[in-house]
Amino acid sequence: MSDKSEKIDERLSVFKTYKLYVGGKFPRSESGRVYEVTDSKGKWLANAPLSSRKDARDAVVAARKAFGGWSGATAYNRGQILYRIAEMLEGRREQFVREVADAEGLSKSKAAAQVDAAIDRWVWYAGWTDKIAQVVGGGNPVAGPFFNLSSPEPTGVVAVLAPQESSFLGLVSVIAPVIATGNTAVVVASERSPLPALSLGEVLATSDLPGGVVNVLSGRTAEIAAPLAAHQDVNAIDLAGAGEVLAKELEISAADNLKRTLRPQAVDNWSATPGTERMTAFLETKTVWHPTGSLGASGSSY
């Protein structure tokens, strides 16, 4: 009798179906394929979608569609939304600590430090959205009655290969600078540990971030990255998650439409303050000349 009641108390846990995040929706892979994701010791964690090149194509279409609205939003508004992402992450901190600990084989406390650093990273880039223009743009002194102004403009749709090792802090550190400045992103999650990235999609969907600004794909990095690198409607590619051989191949096919390419750089410590390089890598400078009007007798038009 006591045996039976114990069995009733034992609840079957509900497994989560991890799905892609494309255009603000959560589709399965168009191909219907999945692959097994294991923790650092080889224990099965979940099945993740194994994206095909058509998923990549659909993600680019979604990112292109979102670009006008996102790049046209005020920097202030983008900052608010990035901060909102940090707020939402804070509320789901426990989930991400568990997923990062499983994915990277870290202790609870080390995983928590990674998640906290990732949340802080969103806040850091949220602050940068309306300040980067002052740092890398501004008025240029010219010899003539003109204002000459340079302002940074987002490049467009950026394909981002997320770092393979740092499944969450590394991921956030490559996505946030891309979208902070008004680009839209197609992100290929870490091949071995994509679960934190797929869960991040759920956070982004509830953070006022317009659908399509960030699109998250999981699967074989080489398989998804090849069509993205060759895609004529992708304006830039961040090769952070590509190995040496793959990065070279991708850079060659990316050259065809003169994509901006950020080569993989060795990062020992993702929690260090990142600087502005990852933002400026995907900015273009627009310079305009504007007449100041006729100069008065005093030599000034004011």
Residues that bind another protein (CB under 8 A): 57, 60, 64, 227, 230-234, 253, 256
Tokens for 161, please give them.
């290969």
Q: Whole-angstrom Cα distance, residue 111 to residue 97?
A: 5
Closer to another protein by Cβ: residue 228 or 279: 228
How far apart are CB 72 and another protein at their closest, in Å? Answer: 17
Residue closest to 119 by CA, chosen among 147, 144, 90, 143: 90
Closer to another protein by Cβ: residue 100 or 157: 157
How far apart are CB 153 and another protein at their closest, in Å? Answer: 16
Closer to another protein by Cβ: residue 253 or 280: 253
How far apart are CB 55 and another protein at their closest, in Å? Answer: 12
How far apart are CB 219 and another protein at their closest, in Å? Answer: 17
How far apart are CB 156 and another protein at their closest, in Å? Answer: 10
How far apart are CB 233 and another protein at their closest, in Å? Answer: 3
Count other Cβ atoms within 10 Å, centred on residue 73.
17
Closer to another protein by Cβ: residue 121 or 231: 231
Closer to another protein by Cβ: residue 156 or 241: 156
Closer to another protein by Cβ: residue 82 or 228: 228
How far apart are CB 64 and another protein at their closest, in Å? Answer: 8
Closer to another protein by Cβ: residue 89 or 229: 229
Q: Whole-angstrom Cα distance, residue 278 to residue 281?
A: 5
Q: Whole-angstrom Cα distance, residue 211 to residue 205?
A: 7
Tokens for 168, please give them.
């969450």
